[in-house]
Amino acid sequence: MTSQPGTPGNPLRVVIVGSGPSGFYAADFLQKQTDLTIEIDMLERLPTPYGLVRGGVAPDHPKIKSVTKVYDKIATSPGFRFYGNVTLGEDLTHDDLLRYYHAIIYAVGAQTDRQMGIPGEDLPGSHPATEFVGWYNAHPDFRDLTFDLNAERVAVIGNGNVAMDVARILASMRDELAKTDIADYALEALSRSRVREVYLLGRRGPAQAAFTNPELKEFGELEGADVVVTAEEAELDPLSSAAMVAGDDRMAERNVQTLLRFAAEGPAGKPRRIIMRFLVSPVEIIGTDRVEAIKIVKNELYQADDGSLRPRPTDQTEILPVDLVFRSIGYMGVALPGVPFDARKGVIPNAQGRVIDPSVPATVPGEYVVGWIKRGPSGIIGTNKPDSYETAGMLLEDARAGKLIEPAEPTREAFEAFIRRQQPEIVSFEDWELLNQAELANGAAVGRPRIKFSRVEDMLGVLAQHHEQAPQAGD
Ligand code: NAP
């Protein structure tokens, strides 16, 4: 019987699947343990790390992205290794992980979008906002999509921060976008865009909007777009007013104040307009071969049993002529092969991050989950820190109690040999740093902060060329 893992001779081997914020914060917590020797391998299906910080955060929010400095420190700490361009379910299986690791942490996020379930949802010209976000952020999965930006009127459905990002990017002028690291092809396409009006449709009222106040205020600072909210739309209904007086929701109060200010100021005559509508739900996307209009119903709020204010339709409907629709009603998790999954919630079932197999039901020894695939697609980047710390804490509790996986080959050498056979084009963290430098240099050459690579083959090509010129030790 071997000794409990966690010593220099027998390190505790942990694999983290996914390299977004939640994965990095889990690694951070494990690295803080001084009484255990822990080796962390991070697998990422793309050649690039950082998950939604690279592929989701809006390009005009560079401050938010600077959090990657923290992740770089984690990735370059002793005992940590990054394996990019490695896909669980393709290059290796769940059983393979059980062979090489004492513990597995799933940090794969929520990789698809929620459906609305209304007629016309899949007409050409109606897209999930998540695809548009991936496209303008140079995500390889989405870079070849096309969006008809000859459209003059666009509807964005939803009142979360993703809807705000999409509306803002659509309403931004070329020089506002050129200052950002938006994908080069997206910059060109958006520069030629004929979009004039962006309707932002919230199913509840201003006090229930999911967006945060800095994002709302940004609408008022756009160079080429007015934000249009009528006083009638910005006013609260009696139930919301009463809830606002009784409650202590500072974000909602600030949002309502900002909306009332927008309503009072009125439009300044800029070429584009973001038109904010509240208490409306889409009931149908209308069109023969493609989107021509959206039918919305006016809602009213009622108090649900849990005390929240929910929308219900009235008999008033309206048809908005629009040529393009972005559905921004939330992300949804996707099942991993061999791992329990709650398809209704789109999460891996868990208790404080310990994976649960509902068919037993019992926790699955040595398997853990963090981030959106643990709790659902909510919260900001920072929300992941306590979330991942909680899970990593459970892992360490189980490690100390000897309740992890008993892998057949718990060494880095064994895993390296295996994974290089499975996927010869692994991208290391040093490789990523090279790609990063190349992106920065390509941007500097044309006066932009960065030009992102958007094709995996381009990234691998740059790395192959580099390795040919400067062969690595062991090559
Ligand atoms: P979200 O914040 O959950 O917002 C989803 C929105 O869709 C809500 O307004 C919701 O309304 C609405 N909705 C849901 N189902 C609907 C339906 N059937 N019909 C009409 N509307 C519907 O989701 P998200 O915008 O995708 O953002 C995901 C997370 O990422 C959030 O936590 C967000 O704050 C975060 N994020 C942050 C930033 C940032 O910090 N700058 C940027 C982007 C994303 P109800 O409220 O009525 O359900």
Structural tokens at position 463: 């790395």
- Find the length of the chain: 475
Pocket test for ligand 1, best of 22, 131, 161, 326 (most atoms within 8 A of CB): 161
CA-CA distance, 265 to 50, in Å (whole number)? 40
SS3 content of the chain, % helix, strand, coil (to 5): 35, 20, 40
The alpha carbon of residue 459 and the mean position of all alpha carbons in its chain are separated, in whole angstroms, by 22
The residue contributing the CA closest to ligand 1 atom 33 is: 161
Q: Cα of 135 to ligand 1 centre, how many Å?
A: 19
Residues 6+ apart with CB under 8 A from 69: none
Q: How open is the CA angle 73-76-80, to the nearest 5 degrees? A: 115
Say what the pLDDT of residue 455 is.
98
Q: Cα of 209 to ligand 1 centre, how many Å?
A: 8
The residue contributing the CA closest to ligand 1 atom 29 is: 378
The residue contributing the CA closest to ligand 1 atom 18 is: 116
pLDDT per residue rounded down to tens, the chain (475 residues): 457 899 999 999 999 999 999 999 999 999 999 999 999 999 999 999 999 999 999 999 999 999 999 999 999 999 999 999 999 999 999 999 999 999 999 999 999 999 999 999 999 999 999 999 999 999 999 999 999 999 999 999 999 999 999 999 999 999 999 999 999 999 999 999 999 999 999 999 999 999 999 999 999 999 999 999 999 999 999 999 999 888 888 999 999 999 999 999 999 999 999 999 999 999 999 999 999 999 999 999 999 999 999 999 999 999 999 999 999 999 999 999 999 999 999 999 999 999 999 999 999 999 999 999 999 999 999 999 999 999 999 999 999 999 999 999 999 999 999 999 999 999 999 999 999 999 999 999 999 999 999 999 999 999 999 998 876 655 5
Say what the pLDDT of residue 249 is.
87
Say what the pLDDT of residue 208 is.
96
Measured from the CA of 129, which atom of ligand 1 is nearest? 26
CA-CA distance, 429 to 408, in Å (whole number)? 27
The residue contributing the CA closest to ligand 1 atom 36 is: 161
Q: Cα of 157 to ligand 1 centre, how many Å?
A: 10
Amino acid at 260: L
The reply to whether omega before 361 is within 30° of 0 (cis) is yes
**283: Cα within 13 Å, side-chain hemisphere:** 15
Q: Cα of 161 to ligand 1 centre, how many Å?
A: 6
Collapsing DSSP to helix, strand or coil, 399 comes out as: helix
Q: Count Cβ atoms below 10 Å from residue 70 Cβ, excluding itself.
A: 14
Say what the pLDDT of residue 248 is.
82
Structural tokens at position 315: 């008999």
Residue 21 has phi, psi (to 5 degrees) of -55, -45
Say what the pLDDT of residue 471 is.
67
CA-CA distance, 301 to 311, in Å (whole number)? 5
Pocket test for ligand 1, best of 114, 136, 157, 203 (most atoms within 8 A of CB): 203
CA-CA distance, 216 to 160, in Å (whole number)? 10
User: Which residues form the pocket of ligand 1, taking CB atoms under 6 Å from any ligand atom?
Assistant: 116, 157-163, 165, 202-204, 208, 210, 215, 281, 328-331, 377-380
Q: Fill in the DSSP letter of residue 9.
A: S
The residue contributing the CA closest to ligand 1 atom 39 is: 161
* Beta strands at 309-321 and 112-113: parallel, antiparallel or unpaired: unpaired
Q: Cα of 231 to ligand 1 centre, how many Å?
A: 24
Collapsing DSSP to helix, strand or coil, 301 comes out as: strand
Q: Count Cβ atoms below 10 Å from residue 36 Cβ, excluding itself.
A: 15
Between the two ends of the chain, the Cα-to-Cα distance in Å is: 36
CB 293 within 8 A of CB 320: yes
CB 211 within 8 A of CB 251: no
CA-CA distance, 186 to 137, in Å (whole number)? 8
**233: Cα within 13 Å, side-chain hemisphere:** 25
- What sign for the dihedral angle of Cα 64, 68, 74, 75? positive
Measured from the CA of 130, which atom of ligand 1 is nearest? 26
- How many angstroms separate the Cα of 384 from the Cα of each of 2, 61, 372? 34, 19, 8
Locate tokens 């938010």: which residue?
A: 64
- Which residues of 80-168 form beta strands (DSSP E)? 80-84, 103-106, 112-113, 126-128, 153-157
Structural tokens at position 329: 């009603």
Helix (H) or strand (E) holding 331: strand 331-332
Q: Supply the pTM of this predicted model.
A: 0.96
Domains and CATH numbers, the chain: 12-111+333-427 (3.40.50.720), 114-330 (3.50.50.60)
- How many angstroms separate the Cα of 42 from the Cα of each of 76, 84, 352? 12, 8, 21
Structural tokens at position 16: 């983290």
Give which of 285, 297, 288 is closest to 322, Cα–Cα.
285
Q: Cα of 225 to ligand 1 centre, how many Å?
A: 23
CA-CA distance, 159 to 169, in Å (whole number)? 15
- How many angstroms separate the Cα of 302 from the Cα of each of 5, 171, 204, 312, 379? 55, 33, 10, 7, 25
Pocket test for ligand 1, best of 112, 121, 126, 162 (most atoms within 8 A of CB): 162
Locate tokens 């343990």: which residue?
A: 33
Q: Cα of 312 to ligand 1 centre, how many Å?
A: 18
Residues 6+ apart with CB under 8 A from 129: 113, 156, 158, 162, 163, 166, 326, 327, 328
CA-CA distance, 103 to 131, in Å (whole number)? 33
Pocket test for ligand 1, best of 114, 159, 216 (most atoms within 8 A of CB): 159
Structural tokens at position 34: 């001084």
